[in-house]
Amino acid sequence: MQAETVQKKRMLSGIKPSGELTLGSYLGAIKHWSARAEEFDCYYFMADLHAITVRQNPADLRRRTLEQLAQYIACGLDPQRNTLFIQSHVHQHAELGWVLNCYAMFGELSRMTQFKDKSAKNADNINGGLFTYPSLMAADILLYLPDFVPVGEDQKQHVELCHTIARRFNGIYGEVFKLPKPYVPKVGARIMSLTNPVAKMSKSEDADSGRVLLMDPPEQIMRQFKRAITDSDTENCVRYDKENKPGVANLMTIYSAVTGKSFEQIEAEFAGKGYGVFKPAVGEAVVEALRPIREEAAHLMKDKAYLEGVYRAGAEKASREAEKTLRKVYKKVGLLAK
Ligand code: TYM
């Protein structure tokens, strides 16, 4: 037998435990991660350091961080095949984040859409962490030299800035960092609110904002879909037209992402039928897709010792990898070794 010589490509991504995971986080991110464990060497984490750029209730943040780990596993991220860890447990993230701050320009950081949006929403707390958020995110990525960074549409700009910073650093010190490719899914990269289909479905908004949570019970999910905003069309109303029918396009995207059906197949399935049939059908498909995840996550939350074992082992492995890159960076920039 021939020995395995091919090095697997590496994939890395994270989610902030700043709110309960939504259908958007699942369809835009986690669903695509879990499909790749065979092919890639995968690192996924809870971005708790990023979460505190907006004020958090400490007890809720701790609870959500653990729940998020349970949900990652329940979504199919097997801890035996994926390195699952908590960002703050791997000190190298904050350390490289600081170094990269010195290579990220004020103008670049000011132009980030997320910074502008979050500053508008948190006018009384536009803190330095919110501003330098992309440098820490660049550190999260560059420490592990990944080939791909799977993210939803809204995080693409941050991955691009990570490239800019890495290229600048490499330009001065030689090829230290690998430039990863953002991997944005074709369907589901931007799931919109069910009640305001021109705004992203967000975990930091309240329950009335048209979001669906991964852990919502079936009745709640059905209620949210039945009250989803569509339009006043009655004939052939289930058509994909993002410009003129954003609510319907969003529901079709969700239905397509959970069932694997194409937009043409969905249009054919609901030809001649109204929203009274379409909306509950999407709700039911989502309920069935999320049911096993919700049940497994609830089951895992009962075994805290198991979850602790997973995140400790994950941090240990991640830290070993991260340390190699951090040492190299410290040396390159001229920090004296200990
Ligand atoms: P976060 O926590 O806002 O979102 C996590 C992931 O879910 C995707 N996402 C969505 N996709 C489709 N539709 C939606 N409505 C939706 N809402 C969220 C996001 O695009 C993201 O992929 N800064 C990151 C976390 C992070 C990170 C990293 C990611 C920190 N360090 C390093 C990748 C690599 C964030 O706030 O994601």
Specify the pLDDT at position 208: 72
Q: Is residue 251's pLDDT more than 60? A: yes
Is 118 known to be catalytic?
A: yes
Beta-carbon contacts of residue 49 (< 8 Å; ≥ 6 apart) = 87, 88, 93, 94, 136
Residues 213 and 164: their CA atoms lie apart, in Å, by 34
Mutate to test the pocket of ligand 1, among 11, 15, 213 (most ligand atoms within 8 A of CB): 15
Work out the average pLDDT over 249-275. 96
The C-alpha R_g of the chain, in whole angstroms, comes to: 21
Residues 40 and 309: their CA atoms lie apart, in Å, by 23
Q: Is 201 exposed, middle or buried (0-12, 13-18, 19+ CB in 10 A)?
A: buried
Residues 211 and 23: their CA atoms lie apart, in Å, by 8
Q: Is residue 139's pLDDT more than 90? A: yes
Specify the pLDDT at position 39: 87
Q: What is the pLDDT of residues 186-224, one digit of tens each?
A: 888 899 999 999 999 988 777 677 999 999 999 999 999
Is 242 known to be catalytic?
A: no
Work out the average pLDDT over 217-245. 94
Ligand 1 centroid to 237 CA: how many Å? Answer: 32
- 103, 169 Cβ separation under 8 angstroms: yes
Residues 317 and 274: their CA atoms lie apart, in Å, by 52
Ligand 1 centroid to 151 CA: how many Å? Answer: 6
**The tokens 């440098």 sit on which residue?**
135
Coil, helix or strand for 13? Answer: strand
Coil, helix or strand for 12? Answer: strand
Specify the pLDDT at position 1: 43
Atom of ligand 1 nearest to the CA of 47: 30
| Residue (of 282, 292, 128) closest to 212 by Cα position | 282
Mean pLDDT of the chain: 94
Percent of the chain's residues with pLDDT above 70: 98
- Entry pTM: 0.95
Ligand 1 centroid to 272 CA: how many Å? Answer: 37
Specify the pLDDT at position 5: 55
Q: What is the pLDDT of residues 153-196, one digit of tens each?
A: 999 999 999 999 999 999 999 999 999 988 888 888 899 999 99
Mutate to test the pocket of ligand 1, among 11, 25, 153 (most ligand atoms within 8 A of CB): 25
Atom of ligand 1 nearest to the CA of 203: 17
Question: Which string of b and e fits 224-242 if b means at least 16 CB within 10 Å?
Answer: bbeebbbeeeeeebbbeee
Crossing angle for the helix pair 156-173 and 304-333, to the nearest 10 degrees: 40
200 lines ligand 1 (CB under 6 A): yes
24 lines ligand 1 (CB under 6 A): yes
Residue 146 neighbours by CB distance under 10 Å: 23
Q: What is the pLDDT of residues 60-118, one digit of tens each?
A: 999 999 999 999 999 999 999 999 999 999 999 999 999 999 999 999 999 999 999 99
Helix (H) or strand (E) holding 150: strand 148-150
Atom of ligand 1 nearest to the CA of 137: 31
Q: What is the pLDDT of residues 14-48, one digit of tens each?
A: 999 999 999 999 999 999 888 777 889 999 999 99
Residues 232 and 76: their CA atoms lie apart, in Å, by 39
Specify the pLDDT at position 2: 47
Ligand 1 centroid to 177 CA: how many Å? Answer: 22
